[in-house]
C-alpha cells in the first residue's frame, strides 16, 4: 500500500519519522521531501499522488492556510483518493479546509503511534483496499 504525506516545511522531520514508522506496517510513503535536487517538484508530486492509495494530511496551525496543502488536497480529492487528516491538538475544534471537514480525523501523536492508526485505517477502508 502507498500513501502520500502532505506536510509543511516545519513538519518535515515528523513526516520522515512517520514514513519510517509506516514502513514497519507494510505501507510505503512519499512526501515532497523525497524530491531530489533538480527534479520537477510538480511532476514528482503528481506522480506520487496518482500512485498513492491514500493521502495523509498533516494539519497544524502553521499550515492550515498553506496554498500547497490546498493544491495537494484538491488533487487527492479529484483523483478519488482516501483522505486521512492528521491534526494536532491545537486544531481540534478549529475549522478545517473542505473536504477535510467531512473526514474523520486522526489526532497526531508520536510518529509510531500515528502510523499504527493510519495503517489500521488503510487496512479497513474499502477505498484503500480497492486500489
Q: Is the peptide bond before 99 cis (omega within 30 degrees of 0)?
A: yes
Secondary structure E strands in 8-125: 28-31, 54-59, 82-87, 106-107
What average pLDDT score do residues 4-33 get?
93
**For residue 130, what pLDDT is reported?**
54
pLDDT digits (tens, 9 = 90+) for 27-64: 999 988 888 889 998 899 899 999 999 999 999 887 77
In the chain, where the domains are located: 2-129
Pick one of 3.40.50.10140, 3.40.50.1820, 3.50.30.10, 1.20.120.420 as the CATH number of 2-129: 3.40.50.10140
Write b or e for each residue in 20-30: b if 16 or more Cβ atoms lie within 10 A of its Cβ, otherwise e: ebbeeeebebb
Amino acid at each position: 500500500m502507498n500513501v502520500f504525506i502532505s506536510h509543511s516545511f516545519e513538519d518535515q522531520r515528523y513526516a520522515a519519522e512517520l514514513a519510517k514508522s509506516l514502513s514497519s506496517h507494510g505501507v510505503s510513503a512519499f512526501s515532497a521531501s523525497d524530491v531530489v535536487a533538480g527534479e520537477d517538484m510538480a511532476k514528482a508530486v503528481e506522480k506520487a499522488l496518482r500512485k498513492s492509495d491514500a493521502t495523509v494530511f498533516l494539519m497544524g496551525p502553521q499550515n492550515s492556510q498553506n496554498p500547497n496543502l490546498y493544491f495537494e488536497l484538491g488533487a487527492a480529492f479529484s483523483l478519488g483518493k482516501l483522505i486521512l487528516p492528521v491534526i494536532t491538538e491545537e486544531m481540534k475544534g478549529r475549522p478545517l479546509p473542505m473536504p477535510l471537514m467531512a473526514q474523520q480525523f486522526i489526532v497526531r501523536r508520536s510518529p509510531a503511534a500515528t502510523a499504527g492508526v493510519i495503517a489500521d485505517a488503510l487496512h479497513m477502508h474499502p477505498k484503500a483496499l480497492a486500489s
